[in-house]
Amino acid sequence: MIEEFTIALFSENSIGILNRITINFTKRKLNIDSLTVSESAIKGVYKFTIVVKCDLHTVENLVKQLDKQVEVLRTFFLRENEVLHQEMAMYKIETSTFLESNKVESIIRKYNARILEVTKDYTAIEKTGHKAETQRLFEELRPYGVLQFVRSGRVAITRLKKELLSEYLVKLEKKALAE
């Protein structure tokens, strides 16, 4: 059964790591729906948040292969109910359109979006939420002439009480001390 999985991959920051990671998806003919990379809570460790749609067997094998990369410290996959996630979208419309009608302002309020900047030429709007929410706002703004639209990749944290990588590193340290 095809599901949406969020892969949390922790690695060192080294040249070419993104290419070595994405090759594993290409080999399996998997499309990456979303990819976000940032520093993690642990200094020097980067977190890749990758969204993919596939079956359980495929994601399990993918995670095993990703863990074999030298720079990868640990990789986890999580189901939809195990993560709390958001995306951010930005919209740019002509300020004249915004000022001519209260309709655009009403739409912005309806979606709890916020205005980032107003110039004589354009108004920039920001919305944080799930992909479906940011897409619906785009669809409602489209008739008013969206000049630009961009959406970030998924940013996610686990719903688990423990932090995945920290706990894994503690286990490794205890194992090393015991040997």
Q: Which residues pair with 159 in a beta bridge?
A: none
Neighbours of 94 (CB within 10 A): 17
Domain of 151, CATH number, reads 3.30.70.1150
Tell me the C-alpha distance between 58 and 79, whole Å. 14
CA angle 57, 60, 65 (to 5 degrees): 125
Judge if 135 and 93 occupy the same domain.
Answer: yes
Answer yes or no: is 33 within a domain. Answer: yes
22-73 tens-digit pLDDT = 999 999 999 999 999 998 888 888 999 999 999 999 999 999 999 998 889 9
State whether 91 and 141 are in the same domain: yes
Does one domain contain both 42 and 96?
A: no
Spatial separation of the C-alpha atoms in residues 56 and 128, rounded to whole Å:
29
> E strands, 12-158, where?
32-39, 46-54, 72-79, 83-94, 114-118, 122-129, 146-151, 155-158
The predicted model scores a pTM of 0.83
Boundary residue ending a domain (83, 113, 128): 83
pLDDT digits (tens, 9 = 90+) for 117-155: 999 999 999 999 999 999 999 999 999 999 999 999 999
Residue 23 CB: number of other CB atoms within 10 A? 12
Number of compact structural domains in the chain: 2
Question: Are residues 75 and 100 both part of a single domain?
Answer: no
Q: Residue 140 belongs to what domain range?
A: 85-155
- The chain-wide mean pLDDT, for the chain, equals 90
Phi/psi for 4 (5° steps) reads -100, 125
For residue 167, is pLDDT > 80? no
Angle at 162 between CA 159 and CA 175, to 5 degrees: 145
Percent of the chain with pLDDT over 90: 73
CATH code, 51 = 3.30.70.260
Whether 158 and 82 have beta carbons less than 8 Å apart is answered as yes
The strand pairing partners of 157, in sequence order, are: 84
pLDDT value at position 159? 82
Shared domain check, 111 and 64: no
Query: What pLDDT shows up at residue 99?
Result: 85
